[in-house]
Amino acid sequence: MGSDWKVILCYSITVLYRLWWIPIRAWRLPLKNGERYFQDIEVPEGWHTSAEGRKWWRRYRATIIVPHALEACGLMAIALWGQWKQLPMLSLVAPVFVGMTLAFIAWWRHANRARIQRPQRVAVSLEERKLRTYFSWSLEAALAMLIAASWAIMAWRGDADIHWRWPLTLTYVVIGLIVMKAQVVKHGWALPANRTAEYQHWDEFRRRYASRVLDRMRFMNIVILAGYAAVHSLAGVAPIGAIRGAAFAAGLGLSVWMMIGIARGETAFLRGSARSLLPPATTIIDWKKGWWSFGAFMAGLALLMFWPER
Amino acid sequence: MYLTVDFEDKRPLYQQVVDGIKELIARGTLREGATLPSVRQVAGDLGVNLNTIATAYRQLQEEGLVAVRHGFGAVVKARRSDFAGQDELRKGLRAALTQLVLAGLAEKEIVTMVREELAVVGGKAK
């Protein structure tokens, strides 16, 4: 198996996370606000066991089963042919899963738009949301320098084995994550006029949690980029084995840190949703902007990953 | 510090924004030098057109209450409105009182109501 154990270890961590997340949380996620709601929208009593309710539950669960079934097929093929190096390709299931979940939510909201009860009186905070509250400019400058240095050493001393697709894709993802974070921290919505402070506390929690997760994803991609650049550019100058080991340990540590962050954030989210606050979908959400930017990002990513190499 | 808007209020939305911010200034919740968020932020949060909020900010600027910084937000400039003279203020008061009289309220009730509202709005403005 050689160095395949590293890929298998990284993959196993994502499997462990999902084994915790899917049966315990995701399977019943539309009930996070209690039995009176399905995915943020109030439903009549007995709806969950009605024909309509069962139909929507089947659709929701298909968004979980289909991508993971595809992943299981991919995993079996990899195991059968012993191509463990191809395991990272299974991560493509993540955007499929996210895309299907978002499509399901949009479909559900569109089909049940008449049921969405928006509060008649709403309140918005008059405190300015500034990027500098959520971004540390010195850290951003250091990260930008690390990316620039990675590109510079690859351009200057890169070996013949560099597949430019990977550094390009990683840099694209890093830039995309910065844009997403800026959108997340700038975005807000009208909150119900009663218990506004509680809703705002919750909204701010969501903003900080999302920006933390996006940061950790970004750090992980930057470390992988820097590691890739070092491995392919510093042969003969530095001990490649040590660089490879350090980059792997840093990437693995960051991915575990990211998953712990997601697990803690999601748990807190679910705990908060169980309180008697209205689900966020009852407030005004501008989905269009998010859809366009997410769609454009995914299209760019697909182009970079599947563009045939010469 | 929140700005409250009622989608079933008969006043246009921009007027509700103007009135809401004026009330916060009058109460002393928004002090001189306090910054208001950008037009984009308020419009985005409320899910309304940018022009609605831009119109409200423009009106507040014309009344000398805020100074709009293009591309940013606005700054509370003063706690006194510029253009309303005594006659103008009286007209507004008379119109409001007329509404109350026509609604069938007795003089005593009107006085009580005015005192209550004054306590809410102008409590810290003296």
Q: Which three-class secondary structure state does DSSP give residue A234?
A: coil
**What is the pLDDT at residue A275?**
63
Give contacts of B21 with chain A, Cβ < 8 Å.
126
Give contacts of B50 with chain A, Cβ < 8 Å.
none
Q: A286 CA to chain B: closest CA distance, Å? A: 7
Burial readout A281-300 (b: 16 or more C-beta within 10 A, e: otherwise): bbbbbeeeeeeeebeebeee
Please state, in angstroms and as integers, the Cα–Cα distance from residue A233 to each residue in A95, A157, A167, A208, A215, following that order: 31, 5, 13, 37, 27
Interface contact flag, A284 B46, Cβ < 8 Å: yes
**What is the pLDDT at residue A284?**
47
In single-letter form, the type of residue at position A50 comes to S
Interface contact flag, B30 A126, Cβ < 8 Å: yes
Q: Which of A65, A58, A63, A68 is nearest to A93 (CA)?
A: A68
> What band does B50 get if pLDDT is binned at 50, 70 and 90?
very high
**What is the pLDDT at residue B66?**
92
A116 touches chain B (CB under 8 A): no
Tell me the per-residue pLDDT of B59-92, one tens digit each, with 9 for 90 and over.
999 988 999 887 777 899 877 776 667 787 888 8
**What is the pLDDT at residue A114?**
82
**What is d(CA A128, CA B42) in angstroms, rounded to the nearest whole number?**
9
Taking phi over 0 as left and psi of -120 to 50 as alpha, with beta for the rest, B118 belongs to alpha
Is the separation of the CB atoms in A254 and A216 below 8 Å? yes
In single-letter form, the type of residue at position B53 comes to I
Please state, in angstroms and as integers, the Cα–Cα distance from residue A15 to each residue in A9, A215, A216, A269, B35, following that order: 10, 22, 19, 22, 48
Q: A246 CA to chain B: closest CA distance, Å? A: 43
A171 touches chain B (CB under 8 A): no
CATH numbers and ranges of domains, chain B: 13-76 (1.10.10.10), 86-121 (no CATH)
Interface contact flag, A126 B1, Cβ < 8 Å: yes
Interface contact flag, B5 A122, Cβ < 8 Å: yes
**What is d(CA A141, CA A185) in angstroms, rounded to the nearest whole number?**
19
**Alpha helical stretches, state H, B47-106:** 50-62, 86-102
Is the separation of the CB atoms in B36 and A126 below 8 Å? yes
Strand partners, B74: B36, B68
Strand partners, A199: none
Token output for A247: 């980059």
> What band does B18 get if pLDDT is binned at 50, 70 and 90?
very high
What is the residue extent of each domain of chain A?
Answer: 1-116, 124-310
**What is d(CA A193, CA A191) in angstroms, rounded to the nearest whole number?**
6
% of chain B beyond a pLDDT of 70: 93
**What is d(CA A295, CA B20) in angstroms, rounded to the nearest whole number?**
38
Q: Is the pLDDT of residue B93 over 60?
A: yes
Assess: ipTM above 0.90: no
Q: Which three-class secondary structure state does DSSP give residue A37?
A: strand
Pick the more confident residue, A251 or B17.
B17
**What is d(CA A141, CA B71) in angstroms, rounded to the nearest whole number?**
24
- Report chain B residues touching chain A, CB-CB < 8 A: 1-8, 21, 24, 30, 35-38, 41-42, 44-47, 73
**What is the pLDDT at residue B21?**
94
Burial class (CB in 10 A: 0-12, 13-18, 19+), B71: exposed
Q: A7 CA to chain B: closest CA distance, Å? A: 43
Structure-token match 């269009």, residue found = A288
Q: Which residue from B4, B41, B46 is facing A128, i.e. has the nearest CB?
A: B41
A183 touches chain B (CB under 8 A): no
Q: Which three-class secondary structure state does DSSP give residue B68?
A: strand
Residues 6+ apart with CB under 8 A from A310: none
Write the DSSP assignment of A121-155 as a string of letters: EEEEE-S---HHHH--HHHHHHHHHHHHHHHHHHH
Residues 6+ apart with CB under 8 A from B16: B5, B6, B9
User: Which residues in chain A show pLDDT less than 50?
Assistant: 283-284
Q: Which residue from A125, A186, A190 is facing B47, i.e. has the nearest CB?
A: A190
Token output for A233: 């550019």
Residue A155 CA neighbour count, 13 Å, CB half: 7
Please state, in angstroms and as integers, the Cα–Cα distance from residue A232 to each residue in A142, A147, A229, A236, A243, following that order: 22, 15, 5, 11, 11
**What is the pLDDT at residue A287?**
60
What angle (nearest 5°) sits at the alpha carbon of residue B40, between those of residues B36 and B44? 110
Residues 6+ apart with CB under 8 A from A131: A182, A185, A186
